[in-house]
Amino acid sequence: MANRLARATGGRPRVRVRLDGGWRLYLVLPEGLSVDAQLTVLDLLAGADRFGHDRTDTAQRVWADFDRDHEQEPTL
């Protein structure tokens, strides 16, 4: 998933292992992301157990949580 997000956006996803054994993926979205890339990001996030979007004055970020029993782990 991390690789697919990187290819779709040109960004560098970050992966953090959670204390409960699951993991969270973060990605700062680059400005000017194409509609096709945005749709790809949404499609990939739909495979997460939970996901969301954060926005500040300077950046937008998406995140996705995957529980321990999720069938696929992130690859960097």
Question: φ, ψ for residue 69 (rounded to 5)?
Answer: -85, 10
Model confidence over 18-54: pLDDT tens digits? Answer: 999 899 999 999 999 999 999 999 999 999 999 999 9
pTM here is: 0.80
Taking the mean position of all CA atoms in its chain, how far away is CA 59? 15
**Crossing angle of the two packed helices 2-9 and 35-45, in degrees rounded to 10:** 170
